[in-house]
Chain A
Amino acid sequence: MTDAWLDDDDALLGALKVALADDVPASFVEMGKASFTWRDIDAELAALTYDSAYDLLAGSATRADPAAARNLTFEARDLSIELEIVGDVLHGQLVPPQAGQVEIRRADGTSSATSANDVGYFTITPPTCRFRLHCRTTADVVVQTDWITL
């Protein structure tokens, strides 16, 4: 009850001015709402266990060659997903090798899909925005990766 901003007229008007000044862009709010699209409590999370970019940051690898591949590994209990991004192609491999459906879920709420072949291999065009892969194998193992930004 003793807040100065509340008791004094000038201070209250000043606080009101601050409160009304900082307008949040509508796109900022809409993006937050779209984040709910891919809420999925059934898929097991495949956590990031390896990222070649960390090697670079840690200085344990040589300076990034722009043509060099980026490698990522995501692991869940029954399925791992290995990704290699070379230029404009993302190569994916399900481990252990098996066929399945792979959905690319983008943070903006859009998606597209592809199939992993009988030995678990698939390719996609790497999205430029934040995305995750949602995989359903023919044995009905359902796994999704952490969010990825390339």
Chain B
Amino acid sequence: MRDDPIVIALVGRASAGEQAAWDEIVERFAPLVWSICRRFRLSEADAHDVAQNVWLRLVEYLPSLREPAALPGWLATTTRRECLRVQRISWQQEKQLGQPEIDLPADEESTQVDRWVIAHERDSALRRAFADLGQRCRQLLAMLMRDPPEPYAKISSDLGIPVGSIGPSRARCLQQLRGSPFVAALAEGTTGRGERRDRRVVGR
């Protein structure tokens, strides 16, 4: 996953000036940038400001990105620092003096960034795997994920399946999700994660 050949190719093409490749990079990683802005509880306007700065910097950084596999880590680290900057400015404007300094030591920062990148990879893989499921499975799982939960009787009447088969269908659909190549690639990536960690956040 980390050495995803598709990402490596996209970085190469975008560095050469291809807008379509850049667009795909943005589509792939906007959820990562967005999720970090959300963790910092930024307003939508601040999140846009942060992301714009991150993307503009990436445009200039791309040609010197020696190892495309390091891209997610670079994006997460840069977004995190931009979020801290924006947060500091809004505190200054609100004159909230004496706010605790919340920046972390470098090793904790990289652990945090690692966790975010891994969460992003998991979310992306699950979204893709879900999109690949058959319509019946997508409908069933969507209903099972509703908040508050739908009664089985309602799921049964909406989807036209017996209440008694909801449980087994749920298990079967989730098994299909597990079997998706996207999720399988992710599971493979978890082995040897430790040794890859230090390669990921470069170019600070």
Residues of A within 8 A of B (CB): 1-3, 5-6, 9, 12-13, 15-20, 22, 24-25, 27-29, 31-33, 35-36, 38-39, 41, 45, 107, 130, 147
Contacts and interface: CB of A to CB of B under 8 A. Distances in A.
Interface string B169-186: 011001001100001000
Contact of B177 (A3, A12, A32, A130): A12
Given A12-B178, A22-B38, A107-B56, A17 B122 contact: no
B interface residue count range (under 10 / 10 to 19 / 20 to 34 / 35 or more): 35 or more
Contacts of B152: none
30 contacts: A1-B190, A3-B187, A5-B122, A6-B178, A9-B171, A13-B174, A15-B122, A18-B123, A19-B122, A19-B126, A19-B130, A20-B127, A20-B130, A22-B31, A22-B38, A24-B31, A25-B34, A28-B30, A29-B30, A31-B48, A32-B52, A33-B19, A35-B55, A35-B56, A36-B14, A36-B55, A39-B60, A41-B63, A130-B52, A147-B53
B35 A22 contact: yes
Contacts, number: 100
Q: Residue among A3, A22, A32, A39 with the most chain B CB within 10 A?
A: A32
A1 B191 contact: yes
Given A6-B178, A16-B141, A18-B123, A36 B22 contact: yes
A28 B51 contact: yes
Contacts of B187: 1, 3, 6
Contacts of A20: 126-127, 130, 145
A101 to B, nearest CB: 22
Interface of B: 14, 17, 19, 22-23, 26-27, 30-31, 33-35, 38, 44, 47-49, 51-53, 55-56, 58-60, 63, 122-124, 126-127, 130, 141, 144-145, 170-171, 174, 177-178, 183, 187, 190-191
